[in-house]
């Protein structure tokens, strides 16, 4: 289990995106500051005062959603909160990934520690203890509409805090929550007024997945530039179109970053230099080469916009009702997932297009009519050998799937709760689709790297740029060079691993320095 020694302290300052990744993926410890404990205690005093009033207060002494018109007497309020969690833990399908659940738990804890939800300190302390013990509630994939929070997923987390349902322990073993809590020395929490509602009324699932996706996409964008540079060389393309002077004519920041990466990666390329003389008959490269920084740059700018939205959401207090500064409990609509849902959908569109342009470069390298002297499908003995023909099929199939995943979830509202919740965001669904899209992009880029690498080998005695040569050498430690047909699936899997781990980018950066 990957563990970091860092501790994420929750208080007045919201956690950063890096904090969320550290807890979700690297098991960073979580701690409550004295400031957070004071805010929790102050917020609870307000809820206790409201609970004693004869006038009903939503979420404190009433039912929920379409049942909010029923006043609940004091003796039934513990049952009310317990029943809320049990009934809302209505997910279905496969369990979601551990990192998603841990991100969701941290983000819900962040809102609790502001004191604006009115939960007792013991609720936050129990959530901290569960995170630090490495216990992960089993959260099922389907059930959230992305409005009134990620209700069902968060309810599965709350169920575990109550000692019910199932968790995966630090070894990955699935166990009854009560048993795992007992072994970790954690007392299950008995929920009081408003606490059940406070545990489930947030955008934490979709936000957590957005932050994790952005972390992955930043790395894959650098891979995309590396793959592009390799393809430019493999296809005897020109680096002149990436000149800074030309990029400044259209001052999109992401485009400038991508073009700068390409210039660094192609610097000193003997292959590029070999066809820059006056006798070269290649006038213009295809769009998939020439327009690469425009596309990858637009994806970068989209990611930057999504990161801005994520930062705002990290600084938000999401609950309904929420404890106001004057101690009242006020109904609101801040739980609506539209801001997060929109950028999740937008990113899925951008990811699909980045994969699409990558696949086009792969296809071009395999087509003898367009590859400028390379053998058909880069085969050793074309006709007897098929080379990388079917690797392109795999990339094409993935791109087709990514295009379907890019259909926006956020336009597909379905009313719920007897029409009380008549417009929802579907942000959770958008986030699940984006995770699949990011996974597909990594595979498509890996196939381009494999293809371009084989093409570069076949350009010998011409050699690639120092940076792309370093990438090629690193790949060849895991994947053999040109030769007779062999089982390709393991080679694709090995390349995907090098892509996801950042190993290929790190190899390039030994020459270029850090790529942006």
Residues involved in catalysis: 58
Distance CA 75, CA 197 (A): 18
- CA torsion, ordered 73, 77, 78, 79, to nearest 10 deg: 80
Phi-psi region of 143 (alpha: psi -120 to 50; beta: other; left: phi over 0): left
Give the gyration radius of the chain's Cα atoms: 26
Beta strands, E only, 71-122: 92-95
SS3 59: coil
Alpha helices in 235-291 (DSSP H): 244-247, 253-266, 270-274, 287-290
Element spanning 70, H or E: none
Return all residues near 87 (Cβ < 8 A) that are at least 6 apart.
none
Q: Which of 361, 237, 214 lies closest to 299, judged by CA?
A: 214
Alpha helices in 148-252 (DSSP H): 151-161, 177-183, 195-200, 204-234, 244-247
3-state helix, strand, coil in the chain (%, to 5): 60, 5, 35
Do the beta carbons of residue 17 and residue 307 sit within 8 Å?
A: yes
Q: Exposed e or buried b for every residue in 113-123, given b needs 16+ CB within 10 A? A: bbbbbbbbbeb
From residue 108, give the alpha-carbon distance in Å to each of 6, 124, 207, 210, 394. Answer: 20, 9, 10, 15, 39
From residue 36, give the alpha-carbon distance in Å to each of 42, 227, 409. Answer: 10, 46, 36
Q: Give just the sign of the alpha carbon dihedral 339, 341, 347, 352.
A: negative
């Amino acid at each position: 289990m990957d563990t970091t020694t860092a501790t994420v302290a929750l208080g007045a300052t919201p956690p950063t995106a890096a904090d969320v990744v550290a807890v979700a993926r690297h098991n960073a410890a979580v701690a409550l500051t004295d400031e957070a404990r004071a805010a929790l205690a102050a917020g609870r005093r307000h809820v206790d005062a409201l609970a004693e009033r004869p006038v009903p207060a939503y979420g404190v002494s009433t039912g929920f959603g379409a049942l909010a018109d029923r006043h609940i007497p004091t003796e039934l309020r513990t049952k009310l909160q317990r029943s809320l969690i049990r009934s809302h833990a209505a997910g279905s399908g496969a369990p979601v990934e551990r990192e998603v659940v841990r991100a969701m738990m941290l983000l819900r804890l962040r809102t609790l520690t502001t004191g604006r939800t009115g939960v007792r300190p013991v609720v936050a302390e129990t959530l901290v203890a569960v995170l630090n013990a490495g216990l992960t509630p089993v959260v099922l994939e389907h059930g959230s509409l992305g409005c009134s929070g990620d209700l069902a997923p968060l309810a599965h987390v709350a169920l575990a805090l109550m000692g019910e349902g199932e968790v995966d322990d630090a070894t990955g073993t699935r166990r009854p929550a009560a048993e795992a809590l007992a072994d970790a020395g954690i007392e299950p929490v008995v929920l009081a007024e408003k606490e059940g509602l406070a545990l489930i009324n947030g955008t934490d699932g979709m936000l957590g997945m957005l932050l994790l996706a952005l972390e992955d996409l930043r790395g894959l964008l650098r891979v995309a530039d590396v793959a592009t540079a390799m393809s430019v060389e493999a296809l005897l393309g020109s680096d002149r179109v990436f000149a800074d002077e030309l990029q400044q004519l259209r001052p999109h920041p992401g485009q400038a970053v991508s073009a700068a990466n390409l210039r660094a990666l192609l610097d000193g390329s003997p292959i590029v230099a070999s066809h820059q003389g006056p006798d070269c008959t290649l006038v213009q490269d295809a769009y998939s080469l020439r327009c690469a920084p425009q596309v990858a740059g637009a994806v970068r700018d989209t990611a930057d916009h999504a990161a801005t939205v994520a930062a705002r959401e990290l600084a938000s207090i999401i609950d309904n009702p929420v404890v106001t500064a004057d101690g009242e409990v006020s109904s609101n609509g801040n739980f609506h997932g539209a801001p997060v849902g929109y950028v999740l959908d937008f990113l899925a569109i951008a990811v699909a297009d980045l994969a699409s342009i990558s696949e086009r470069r792969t296809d071009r390298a395999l087509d003898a009519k367009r590859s400028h002297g390379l053998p058909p499908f880069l085969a050793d003995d074309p006709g007897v050998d098929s080379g990388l023909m079917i690797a392109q099929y795999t990339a094409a199939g993935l791109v087709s799937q990514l295009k379907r995943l890019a259909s926006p979830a956020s336009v597909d509202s379905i009313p719920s709760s007897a029409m009380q919740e008549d417009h929802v965001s579907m942000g959770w669904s958008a986030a699940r689709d984006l995770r699949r899209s990011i996974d597909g992009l990594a595979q498509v880029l890996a196939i381009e790297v494999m293809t371009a690498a084989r093409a570069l080998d076949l350009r010998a005695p011409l050699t690639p740029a120092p940076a792309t040569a370093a990438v090629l050498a690193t790949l060849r430690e895991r994947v053999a060079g040109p030769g007779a047909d062999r089982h390709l699936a393991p080679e694709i899997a090995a390349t995907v691993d090098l892509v996801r781990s950042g190993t290929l980018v790190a190899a390039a950066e030994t020459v270029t320095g850090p790529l942006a």
